[in-house]
Copies of this chain bind each other. A is one copy, B any other.
Amino acid sequence: MFRSESEFVRWLQRSSPRPGARLLLGIGDDAALVRVAGGNDLVLTTDLSIEGVHFLRAVHTARSIGHRALARSLSDIAAVGGTPRFALVSLAISKQANRAWLEEFYTGLTALAKRFGVAVIGGDTAVVPERAGVDVVVAGEVRRGRALLRSGAQPGEQIFVSGRLGLSALGLRLLLSRRPGLRRSALSAQALAAHLYPLPQCVLGRYLSEKRLASALIDISDGLSTDLAHLCESSGVGARISQGLIPGPRLSAWPKSLGISPLELALHGGEDYQLLFTVPTTKASSVPRKFRGVSLSRIGEITRARELVLVRADGRPEPLRPCGYNHFRKWTA
C-alpha cells in the first residue's frame, strides 16, 4: 500500500487525466481552481457509491466500481445537457483493500474520464475499517440559459428514450445468478457490459440542448417508471407510454429462471444511464432514429392528467407505478 498521503497524491497526479488549460490548481492542494468560459453556466453534481448499497465486493471488480462511480455523476451532467469538465473523487478506502485494488479503481475511473475529456482535479481520502465508499463530484458547463430541466414537459409532447432499457439490471441478475450457462449469449455479454461499464449519454444530452430539440430531460438512473414519474412531477403533467414501444432487452428464448420479464426490467431496472426526454410534436420528426449508434425511441406522450399510464400490448391501459430504487424504502419497509 502507499506509505503516505503525499506518495498517494503523487501517484494520483501521475495517473489522472492531464488537465486542460483551464485548470489552475489540481490534486494535492487545498482546493481545485478552474476557469469557466465566460457566458457559460456551471453544472455541479455529486453521487455516492457505497459497498453493499451501490456495489458488491463479490460482483464488482475495482475497475468497474471506479467506472460506475464516475458514470453516475457524468450521467447527471448529461441529464441537463451539459458537458462534463472536472471531477473530484472522495474515497473511503476499506482497510482490507490493497494497492492493486486502489490502482484498478482509479484505472476504471480515469479511463472513463479520459473518454469524456474530464480532468480529475481533487478529492479527499480516508481509510475505513469496513465498507468502501466513494463520492464523485463532477463540474461541467452548459451554454448560458441552455440547460435542459426536468420541468419543461408540456401536455401533448412526445416522450423519447435512448438505447435499450433494462440491460444493466439484467446484467446484475446474470452476475448474481448461480447458473453460469446464462451468461453465454450475445445478449448476456451486452447486459454485463451495460452493468459493469455503462456509458453515460453526455454527447446526446449536449446535442439535445444545442439543437433545442428537447423540452425536458432526465437520465434514467432509478428505472424508467421512477424517472418518468420524477419528470412528470417536476413538470406538473402525466404520461402515457406503450408497452410495444419500450426498447427492452431482446432474447428469442427468455430464461424463466431469471424470475423477471424483459418488460419489468425495462420499466423498473435501474442504472441504465440512458436519457428520457420530451419533444414538442412539431419537432418530433427531427429526432433521428439513431444518434452515434444509440437508438432513440418514441415511447408515448405527455398528458394533462397527472397520472402515469402504461398501454399494454393488447391496447388495455393500466396505471404505471414507479418501482425503481428508493433508498428510503429501507426504513419504511
Contacts and interface: CB of A to CB of B under 8 A. Distances in A.
Interface of A: 1-8, 24-25, 28-36, 38-39, 41-48, 50, 52-54, 76-77, 79-80, 82, 86, 88, 90, 92, 95, 121-131, 133, 135, 137, 139-140, 142, 144, 147, 149-150, 218-219, 233-234, 326-328, 330-332
- Interface on chain A toward B: helix, strand, loop, or mixed SS? mixed
A331 B31 contact: no
Contacts of A327: 5, 125-127
Contacts of A128: 50, 52-53, 131, 133
Given A30-B76, A34-B44, A46-B90, A52 B129 contact: yes
Shortest Cβ-Cβ A-B pairs, 4 listed: A135-B135, A30-B79, A31-B45, A1-B331
A41 B35 contact: yes
Contacts of A4: 326, 328, 332
B43 A31 contact: yes
Contacts of A126: 48, 50, 53-54, 327
12 contacts: A5-B326, A5-B328, A31-B43, A31-B82, A33-B80, A44-B122, A46-B46, A46-B88, A46-B122, A48-B135, A95-B331, A127-B328
